[in-house]
Amino acid sequence: MSDVKILESVQQFIARHHGHFIHGECVATETSERIELVNPATEHVIASIATADQQDVEKAVQSAHNAFSNAWANTSPYERGLKLNKLADLVEQHAEELAQLETLTTGKLINLSRHLEVAQSIIFLRYFAGWATKINGQTMQPSIPSMHGEKYSAYTVRQPVGVVAGIVPWNFSLMIGIWKIGSALTTGCTIVLKPSEFTTLSLLRLAELAIEAGIPAGVINVVTGKGETGQYLIDSALVKKVSFTGSVPTGIAIGQQAMKNDLTRVSLELGGKNAAAILADVNIDEILPNLLQATFVHQGQVCAAPERFFIHQSKYDEFVQKASAVVQQLKIGSPLDEMTMFGPLSNRPHFEKVKHYLDLAQRNNQVITGGNALQTTGYFVEPTLLKVQGIDDPLFLEETFGPVVDVIAFETDEELITMMNHSRFGLTASVWTNDLAKAMRLIPQIEAGSIWVNMHTFLDPAVPFGGVKASGVGREFSDA
């Protein structure tokens, strides 16, 4: 097979001189500094984006504030839902265009961009649209003392907070951007998005589609740049909520800064060193395809993906042998080739980070299979299984956010829980077993925000998602 043909509309969009998207249109930056966007599979520069300074950010925030005050907060819930559904229609119509933009900038497999990123974006938009008319307060009878037999009633009203700052990572920029857009807009808020400097094109294109959908100018704004741009956004006095998805150190810094800024509300969905427990009763041949698919989707660059495998001693040798054989058969290649099974990492800094961990494992003789960066153009590494020297091994404690999985054996359920919880992270976990009663006993003991049984990494808009411990504050989706 060869690479899919790049659409003419994609070529034309990439070729533009990209600015920020403020008040319904692309605007030039106030600075001359630009950032090059690199295709991670070829290392070719495909476009450049603007760097927003404080003045650019304030223009975007002021636009969002004006749109909130003059238009969106006063739009009926029914109309908000209609416009979000119209945006979902347009995402569906432009699905291939958006998928190709994602693959070209993130290295995501084209089939993954189509059938997960874009397809799930549509589902999430429609889910949020449905909530627009279902956001209700409560009425209640309070228990304050009665002097003369009178009775009292109280009620609550849920109101939009105003301008939301949405800071989006590079791994699923379109989908995570839509999570933030959908939740903000359905509640009557407006938003200023700051995408990662590595992956901005799909959200710039989405902002254009929002205008076509009839969403008023200023309701969705996009400013591009590096960390300083995000800092300007967080510090704006008009920003009333910060929604961040990304690394733990950055999330902690954002949370601390938001608290200093008059206790600005925050939602922080951060990293994880997620655990998968393979119990003694499982059939390895049955679970392996689903487990490894969840592990190596998007080259492991998924915050919810498992990085630590805990395998019952009786199954350890069989699992390692069979998992190694499957991993070695993954076809590595161009993400635009529909037959490719494993693509590049998304950017050079992340490639260097993952390579550091692989080099460490090589020096310590911990590689079971894989363990190498490919000597070729592009940010390619091999999918890798590692044996660890114990639960305090740095490779077992530090998040790689890549296709690197650590395996370790356990004997008792008590040992398993102790080992699984020996982490500063607590985003997701999974238990693989045919013994549902045992799974239900283990789940309350596992320190993680989401726990699956016989599956991993799957998200649904009706189910709250977020972490405990250093993995975050707050929840995405549902009515949480």
Residues taking part in catalysis: 269, 303
Q: Which residues contact 385 (CB under 8 A, 6 or more apart)?
A: 320, 323, 324, 327, 367, 368, 369, 370, 405, 407
The rounded distance, in Å, linking the Cα atoms of 161 and 181 is 14
The rounded distance, in Å, linking the Cα atoms of 184 and 128 is 9
The pair of structure tokens assigned to 109 is 């497999």
Q: Which residues contact 317 (CB under 8 A, 6 or more apart)?
A: none
CB 112 within 8 A of CB 457: no
Provide the strand spans (E) within 294-403: 306-312, 367-369, 384-387
SS (H, E, C) 398-462: CCCCCCEEEEEEECCHHHHHHHHCCCCCCCEEEEECCCHHHHHHHHHHCCCCEEEECCCCCCCCC
**How many alpha carbons lie under 13 Å from residue 449 in its C-beta half-sphere?**
29
SS (H, E, C) 34-98: EEEEECCCCCCEEEEEECCCHHHHHHHHHHHHHHHHHCHHHCCHHHHHHHHHHHHHHHHHCHHHH
CB 389 within 8 A of CB 287: no
Among the listed residues 179, 219, 223, the one whose alpha carbon sits nearest the alpha carbon of residue 200: 223
Q: Give, in degrees to the nearest 5, the angle at Cα 248 between 243 and 253.
A: 70
Q: Which residues contact 451 (CB under 8 A, 6 or more apart)?
A: 428, 429, 430, 431, 443
End-to-end CA gap in the chain? 44
Phi and psi at 319, nearest 5°, equal: -65, -50
Q: Which residues contact 415 (CB under 8 A, 6 or more apart)?
A: none
Q: Which residues contact 97 (CB under 8 A, 6 or more apart)?
A: 7, 9, 10, 13, 205
Strand partners, 245: 269
* Number of Cβ within a 10 Å radius of residue 346: 27
308: left (phi over 0), alpha (psi -120 to 50) or beta: beta
| CA-derived radius of gyration, the chain | 23
